Amino acid sequence: MTVPGFDNPLTWILAIPLASAGLLAVLPNWRLASWVNVAVSVVTFAASVSLFHYRPEPTRLLFIDDFNVYLVALTAFVGMTTSVFSAAYIARETEAERLSSVHLRFYHSMYQAFLFTMLLALTANNTGVMWVAVEAATLTTVLMVSLYRSREAIEAAWKYFILCSVGIGLALFGTTLVYLAAQPVMGEGADAMAWTLLVQKAAGFQPDLLNLGFVFVLVGYGTKVGLAPLHAWLPDAHAEGPTPISAVLSGLLLNVALYALLRFKMIIASNPDTLAPGPLMIMMGLTSLFVAAFMLFRRGDIKRLFAYSSIEHMGVITFAFGMGGAVANFAGLMHMTMHSLTKSAVFFAVGIITQNAGTKRINEISGLTETTPALGWAFVVAVLAIAGMPPMGVFMSEFLVVSSTFARQPLLALPLIVGLLLSFAALLWRLQGMAFGPPPAHPHPAHGRPGGWWGAMAYAPMWAHLVLVLVAGLYLPPLLAQWFQNVAGLLG
């Protein structure tokens, strides 16, 4: 077993955020820490881009293939842009005296540790290492959700920790069962846990153990994805943690958990004697879509509103991968990407809005397009994009999901369309008052509004994401389309 050396981009992709987490834990100056956090995130993204030009040989611990290379780049990119937004967001929280210097050191350190755990989960060529990485991602985000140390934040962190730990425990049991199913064919040790080897010989594994293992994996990692009815942790964690963490939770961590689930789906789909994983995923996807759609009408907290929107979209993505086939898998991959970019942009806007308004209550946020036109219209575009309005990228991916469902299972297309329309109506109804309602009679004095570079840093990531989503909706580069087609073929 070999470990990649420092001439390997994978080493830098993992070593940079891990080393930075230790450095940021001891930096006393919050402004310097913010810039360091941005700088190391940029370097990590640059290292991830290099994987497109140089793909290292797989080892028993780490590997890169067509599937995870694009998720590594997406994770590093959103991590980079969120670190830029985070610098401006944290500046305002500091000036409002909501966070102390100790909290800030902890925040920046945990941010890089969180990026490290996600990147490790995506690049791990070992089912056990991937499980450890996902569990570590849970622990780092639990600590960040409780950052404000309020009663609500600590309660949300405990709820997140308990529910996701139970889920991850079930995922560990499922992982063990898959190992036992593979052991007679693969032998003992790391070979029976390596993705690159498992998928090649999965046809000879014990089908009964594979079936049972996949059910536990689906429930376990499904908890982390936020699929209903395992979603209870997600709205609280989004509502009480710092808004940049809400952006990476929705935009990145849910993808990582779904990636783990899809890796196991590839194994079980390669064995002709196992149950079909598609119907289970379709059922959980539709359930999540409808639970989120109806809950969107009843949310009074803006961050909880978009947390349920994340549940909705992860349901759509899970449904697409459950349908399977070239078009549905293509649509699922595209929707993962579009949701990551769009939902993080939504939370960037929400972060500035809640700081300006001094509240997260939707009924206390009104007339944004009149009081702060640049922010208000950016928020309108972001919400319309995540709701699935053409010509944004989310609309294109949802259209592909619906059309592929019509082609293969027309009866399933009806509930899918109804769920999407309910979610669309709920978001537009909520948007109307916040964006176009009468301005508040007694506006909250925005605390510590950053100017100059800090102000630009708050808006630039949001608009960058929205431009990318718009471009993807109008024109998908042939190279990217071919890439998605290749991965769709791998997923079966």
pLDDT of residue 442: 64
pLDDT of residue 4: 47
| Strand, helix or coil for residue 359 | coil
CA 3, CA 205: separation in Å to the nearest integer?
28
| Strand, helix or coil for residue 460 | helix
Is the pLDDT reported for residue 346 higher than 60?
yes
CA 119, CA 133: separation in Å to the nearest integer?
9
Q: Report residue 452's pLDDT band, with 50, 70 and 90 as the boundaries.
A: low
CA 308, CA 115: separation in Å to the nearest integer?
23
pLDDT of residue 392: 93
Once rounded to an integer, what is the mean pLDDT over residues 7-30? 88
Once rounded to an integer, what is the mean pLDDT over residues 402-406? 95
What percentage of the chain exceeds 90 in pLDDT?
61
Cα 28 to its chain centre, rounded Å, is 30
Contacts of residue 132, Cβ cutoff 8 Å, sequence gap at least 6: none
pLDDT of residue 482: 87
How deeply is 254 buried, as exposed, middle or buried, from its count of CB atoms within 10 A (0-12, 13-18, 19+)? buried
The pLDDT tens digits of the residues spanning 50-61 come to 998 888 888 889
CA 325, CA 322: separation in Å to the nearest integer?
9
pLDDT of residue 438: 87
pLDDT of residue 443: 61
CA 453, CA 34: separation in Å to the nearest integer?
13
Tell me the CB-side half-sphere exposure of residue 89, using CA atoms within 13 A: 28
Specify the higher pLDDT residue, 302 or 148: 302
Once rounded to an integer, what is the mean pLDDT over residues 446-468? 73
C-alpha distances (whole Å) from 275 to each of 173, 185, 215, 220 are 19, 20, 10, 18
Is the pLDDT reported for residue 320 higher than 50?
yes
Can you give the residue ranges of every domain in the chain? Answer: 1-273, 276-492
Cα 428 to its chain centre, rounded Å, is 23
Is the pLDDT reported for residue 15 higher than 80?
yes
Q: Report residue 88's pLDDT band, with 50, 70 and 90 as the boundaries.
A: confident
| The model's pTM | 0.93
Contacts of residue 452, Cβ cutoff 8 Å, sequence gap at least 6: none
Closest CA to 171 of 237, 271, 263: 263
pLDDT of residue 95: 64
C-alpha distances (whole Å) from 336 to each of 75, 255, 287, 310, 438 are 11, 7, 18, 11, 36
Closest CA to 196 of 322, 70, 61, 74: 61
Q: Does residue 321 contact residue 225 with C-beta atoms inside 8 Å? A: no
* Most confident of the ranges 59-63, 271-275, 418-422: 418-422
Q: Where are the beta strands (DSSP E) in 89-169?
A: none
Q: Report residue 85's pLDDT band, with 50, 70 and 90 as the boundaries.
A: very high
Once rounded to an integer, what is the mean pLDDT over residues 259-279? 92
The mean of the pLDDT values for the chain is 89
Residue 194 corresponds to which amino acid? A
Once rounded to an integer, what is the mean pLDDT over residues 113-139? 95
CA 306, CA 169: separation in Å to the nearest integer?
27
C-alpha distances (whole Å) from 115 to each of 17, 19, 73, 297, 408 are 7, 12, 12, 33, 38
pLDDT of residue 450: 46
Specify the higher pLDDT residue, 58 or 80: 80
Q: How many CB atoms are closer than 10 A to CB 57? A: 10
pLDDT of residue 96: 59
Region for 63 from its dihedrals, namely left if φ exceeds 0, alpha if ψ lies in -120 to 50, beta otherwise: beta
Once rounded to an integer, what is the mean pLDDT over residues 62-72? 92
Cα 217 to its chain centre, rounded Å, is 18
Token couple for 34: 């913010």
CA 17, CA 99: separation in Å to the nearest integer?
23
Token couple for 453: 């570079």
Q: Does residue 220 contact residue 170 with C-beta atoms inside 8 Å? A: yes
pLDDT of residue 218: 95
Specify the higher pLDDT residue, 428 or 1: 428
Alpha carbon distance, N-terminus to C-terminus of the chain: 30
C-alpha distances (whole Å) from 49 to each of 13, 52, 75, 251 are 10, 6, 11, 19
Contacts of residue 359, Cβ cutoff 8 Å, sequence gap at least 6: 365, 444
Residue 325 corresponds to which amino acid? G
Q: Lowest-pLDDT range, 3-12, 223-232, 340-349?
A: 3-12
The pLDDT tens digits of the residues spanning 183-242 come to 999 888 888 899 999 999 989 999 999 999 999 999 999 999 999 988 889 998 888 888
pLDDT of residue 170: 95
Total length of the chain: 492
C-alpha distances (whole Å) from 428 to each of 238, 246, 309, 382 are 21, 21, 12, 12
pLDDT of residue 174: 95
Contacts of residue 475, Cβ cutoff 8 Å, sequence gap at least 6: none
pLDDT of residue 453: 57
Q: Does residue 462 contact residue 377 with C-beta atoms inside 8 Å? A: no
pLDDT of residue 359: 86
The pLDDT tens digits of the residues spanning 130-174 come to 999 999 998 998 888 888 888 888 998 899 999 988 999 999 999
